[in-house]
Amino acid sequence: MKTRFNHRLSALAAALSLLVALGRAAAAEDWVPLFDGRTMDGWKVSENPGSFKVVDGVMVFDGRRAHAFYAGPVREGNFKNFEFKADIRTSPGTNSGVYFHTAYQAGGFPKQGYEAQVNNSQPLQGGYYEFKKTGSLYCVRNQYKSIVKDGEWFTLHVVVRGKHIQIRVNDVVTADYIEPAKVVRSAERAGRFLSSGTFALQGHDPGSKTSFKNIMVRPLPDDLRPDVDGPVPAEEPHAELMQYHMNHFPLIDLHSHLKGGLTLDDVLALSRKTGINYGIAPNCGVGFPITDDKGIHDFVASMKGKPVFLGMQAEGREWVTAFSKEAIAQFDYVFTDSMTFTDDRTGKRTRLWIDGEFEVGDKQAFMDMLTRKIEGIVGSEPIDIYVNPTFLPAPIAGEYDQLWTKERMQRVVDALAKNGVAMEINARFKLPSAAFVKLAKQAGVKFTLGTNNAGKEDLGVPEYCLQMIKECKLTNKDLFIPGKAPSKAIERKALPK
């Protein structure tokens, strides 16, 4: 009897253990509200408590800078691994965010933990412009293309599993980061690392009205490992790039192509790995993949909701009559180069990169013509960026520094400055020279970074661009960022069609 009784006790204990385990598993899987929709109970507001209030079931920031820290009963406000969700609506100019692994502080921006950025359209204010957009892991994995709009509710979803952080906006992954054992952080952001802590909703600027609802958390077990392949890295895989991210320097490659087997998924995976943002640019013009408005509409539709900029590579000189203004307006920016033109001496269509389709002849006469062509393109075509800049055909490319004299460089720079056209620093052709970049910077010309990849294998870290940034001492104020103003193709010049 005693043995049978002991067996029953053991079975009962096992059943109870199983029930407890199942209860814990269920608790780990349940979403728990952090906001009751009626009051600010469970939230502690720093600095200006009156800036956060509840209006019609929604928590609203509208006032002077403040942060609302969760201080309620769920896990006593201490979370390590979790999923967090909130529905958010911004107003024009909103600059907000959601901090995690942070702790209450009475004033200033939280120094502990990470921030998921919320900012769709903050304008230039007092010389300060916040480039980083909604879905950024602030200063670690920055997102520069906003994929949601002011005035519309969207869902921000933050997941932490071990050392793995992922941010989604409306189910689109906008940031993906594995924190290494040894991080690269600026002194200003020394507390940007994973530990544990609470959440804080940011209200940044006066007039920056932000609404929050359906704020909830799904606590996960503390001993979770990152849901990624391989071990957690010992150090930042791209430490140099992290320095740029930390110091508000936008690394955006605006000249990438889906060709040679490269897919959009490949580009997005690379972006998540390095933090570099991308602009996808199809070739548009006579004899190229996109030749009419329908081609533009189809391309734009295929990219809807993706966290990449859309650029139009305008080919040849005929492009200005091939597309409508309305179709071109769907791109974030338009660029072209001076590699295709009609040779004044022969009357023939010339493409400088194809053997047999160009004629150099007298080098000085050729350079004078090329300089005039660049001035004409920049001065008459509605473009935002001049790319593959100062390219020379193979027979004379080795004489670049001699043929691009100071007078010719100055003429190109003056044309760019006068017409508000940015100059690309091109990683593929290693153009323009440092002398050209310095001269253009002195004239106030803006710059972009571009790989101009021929296929899948040569899209990566644009080393020549980074070299020019350092050598020519470029700052984020020297860069052209799409979205700060409408494309010049739409605003500055009227198209014939």
- Summarised one tens digit per residue, pLDDT across range 404-452 is 999 999 999 999 999 999 999 999 999 999 999 999 999 999 999 999 9
Same domain for 256 and 206, yes or no, is no
Same domain for 197 and 256, yes or no, is no
Same domain for 297 and 423, yes or no, is yes
Choice between 158 and 123, residue whose per-residue pLDDT is larger: 158
Q: What is the 3-state secondary structure (H, E, C) of 259-314?
A: CCCCCHHHHHHHHHHHCCEEEECCEECCCCCECCHHHHHHHHHHCCCCCCEEEEEE
Asked if the structure places residue 225 within a domain, the reply is no
Supply 275's token pair: 């933090």
pLDDT band at 129 (very low <50, low <70, confident <90, very high): low
pLDDT of residue 12: 41
Same domain for 144 and 287, yes or no, is no
Report in angstroms the alpha-carbon separations of 61 from 49, 106, 157, 173, 414.
10, 17, 20, 26, 46
Asked if the structure places residue 228 within a domain, the reply is no
Q: Which of 200, 220, 240 is a domain's end point?
A: 220
Is residue 200 predicted with pLDDT exceeding 70? yes
Asked if the structure places residue 185 within a domain, the reply is yes
Same domain for 202 and 256, yes or no, is no
Asked if the structure places residue 11 within a domain, the reply is no
Q: CB neighbours (10 Å) of residue 396?
A: 14
Sign of CA dihedral 375, 380, 384, 387: negative
Asked if the structure places residue 159 within a domain, the reply is yes
Kindly report the CATH number assigned to the domain that includes residue 147: 2.60.120.560
What average pLDDT does this structure show over 179-206? 92
Look up the domain containing 124 and give its range.
29-220
How many structural domains comprise the chain?
A: 2
Same domain for 468 and 350, yes or no, is yes
Asked if the structure places residue 238 within a domain, the reply is no
Same domain for 213 and 253, yes or no, is no
Asked if the structure places residue 340 within a domain, the reply is yes
- Summarised one tens digit per residue, pLDDT across range 78-115 is 999 999 999 999 998 888 999 999 999 998 889 999 99
Same domain for 215 and 253, yes or no, is no
Asked if the structure places residue 157 within a domain, the reply is yes
Report the C-alpha dihedral over residues 341, 344, 347, 353, rounded to 10 degrees.
-40
pLDDT band at 123 (very low <50, low <70, confident <90, very high): low
Q: What is the pTM of this model?
A: 0.90
Same domain for 208 and 334, yes or no, is no
Same domain for 345 and 405, yes or no, is yes
pLDDT of residue 191: 92
Same domain for 258 and 216, yes or no, is no
Same domain for 165 and 277, yes or no, is no
Kindly report the CATH number assigned to the domain that includes residue 467: 3.20.20.140
- Summarised one tens digit per residue, pLDDT across range 276-301 is 999 999 999 988 999 999 999 999 99
